[in-house]
Amino acid sequence: MTSVNPDTGKTLTVLGIETSCDETASAVVTGPTDRQVLSNVIRSQIDEHSEFGGVVPEIAARAHIEILDHIVREAMESAGCGWDDIDAVAATAGPGLIGGVIVGFMTAKAIAMAAGKPIIGVNHLEGHALTARLTDDVEFPFLLLLVSGGHSQFLLVRGVGDYERLGTTIDDAIGEAFDKTAKLLGLPYPGGPNVERLAKSGDAARFPLPRPLLDRPNLDMSFAGLKTAVRTQAKKLEPVDDQTVADLCAGFQLAVSDVLAARTRSALALFRERHPDCPPVIVVAGGVAANQQIRSSLLAAAEEAGARFVAPPMSLCTDNAAMIAWAGIENLALGPVDDMQLSPRPRWPLDSENSGVLGSGKKGAKV
């Protein structure tokens, strides 16, 4: 199949770079019509951070510096590409841990300048938001539920660059709540997979845990209180035995699943109100989407509402550079981009009109 970009008359090939958290990643992707991931190289820093129970920004930035050039070379080589073969360099310019973002975006600018290619500064959240259009045939508008270590939000994705945040966490991101809950129960980082593993042998009904904010009509969420409720129960029974840890993991996971399913039902109802003529689609992205119980309750909520449920493969759901390259392609397909003057941004809400949930001060919204 020959695929043609209507604007430039050719398929675009973009090199992507992602360094906003604890993955150093680079990828080469083509599109917008002939959608192919030619390479997708990711190096996780989990080993560097695990002894601290979470990501240490300074360690992350240094680790990105040490390895990024090798990762980019590997991505180019395994895609079989030379600099002449790529049309642009796309890199995460925010939001994220600013040290890492600076390393990635400045490296990308240097490559773009040396190779004489345009640079595209990609919003990391836009990368997550548009991934389903790389992996599945998803048309605008659609709903996105982003559930990662840094973000928990429902977004209405109306088009490239056209997002409306419908609801967000007002405190901890869900992955963060999993990680903190795991830590207080003595489980290693990253907490999510460990909580899920232990929850399998736990009794979710043993401890009454809250479903925060579900009495409110909007789509916002809160997870800090749930984590504190786990801590309170654990403290009462100190020293906690293995079965108690498993029961608390199961109770916590069920509470999160219930909250997400309820909010998904409301988000889909809102989608139908806004776009009565469009088939409802909900896309899930972020590391927490790996959780089987959460996935099944989201799928059930979507089926109940007659909506299509799309979960990109896990390797493209968690942080990666293919999504950044793809977001670059989607932007470039709309016309020329030159972000050489753009500065890396620690905070960069996708929806600028609706960004005041956590700290609407000089730096913008946190989540």
Report the partner that residue 179 touches, choosing among ligand KG4, Zn ion, none (CB closer than 5 to 8 A by kind). ligand KG4
The dihedral over CA atoms of 103, 108, 113, 119, expressed in degrees to the nearest 10, equals -130
Whose Cβ is closer to Zn ion: residue 202's or residue 328's?
A: 328
| Smallest gap from residue 124 Cβ to Zn ion (A) | 6
In the complex, the residues that contact ligand KG4 under the rule CB under 6 A are 21, 148-150, 175-176, 178-179, 190-193, 196, 286-288, 290-291, 318-319
Q: CB of 85: closest distance to ligand KG4 in angstroms?
A: 29
Residue 172 interacts, among ligand KG4, Zn ion, none and using kind-specific CB cut-offs from 5 to 8 Å, with: none
Pairing mode, if any, of strands 142-147 and 281-285?
parallel
CB 339 to ligand KG4: min, Å:
22
Return the bridge partners of 175, or none: none
Nearest CA-CA partner of 222 in 169, 186, 275, 282: 169
Q: How far is the CB of 182 from ligand KG4 (least distance, A)?
A: 7
**The 3-state secondary structure of 161-194, one letter per residue:** CEEEEEEEECCCCHHHHHHHHHHHCCCCCCHHHH
- Half-sphere exposure in the Cβ direction for 104 (13 Å, CA): 42
Farthest CA pair distance, the chain: 67
Closest C-alpha to 140, from 32, 37, 40: 32
* Closest to ligand KG4 by CB, 94 or 190: 190
CB of 135 to ligand KG4, least distance (A): 15
- Whole-angstrom distance, CA of residue 255 vs CA of residue 277: 33
With CB under 5 to 8 Å by kind, the binding choice for 192 among ligand KG4, Zn ion, none is ligand KG4
Minimum distance, C-beta of residue 97 to Zn ion, in the bound complex (Å)? 11
Q: Tell me whether residue 149 or residue 280 sits nearer to ligand KG4 (CB atom).
A: 149
Q: Which residues make up the interface to Zn ion (CB under 5 A)?
A: 148, 319
C-alpha angle 149/121/37, rounded to 5°?
A: 75
- Name which of 108 and 285 has its Cβ closer to Zn ion: 285
| Residue 191 contact among ligand KG4, Zn ion, none, beta carbon within 5 to 8 Å by kind | ligand KG4
- Return the one option of Zn ion, ligand KG4, none that residue 257 interacts with (CB less than 5 to 8 A, by type): none
Q: How far is the CB of 329 from ligand KG4 (least distance, A)?
A: 21
The smaller minimum CB distance to Zn ion, of residues 131 and 297, is found at 131
Q: Name the residue nearer to Zn ion (CB basis): 172 or 319.
A: 319
- Residue 334, both tokens: 């709309």
DSSP string for 88-150: EEEEEEESS-HHHHHHHHHHHHHHHHHHT--EEEEEHHHHHHHHHHHHS--PSSEEEEEESSS
Nearest residue to 335 via CA among 120, 47, 147, 172: 120
- The smaller minimum CB distance to Zn ion, of residues 220 and 319, is found at 319
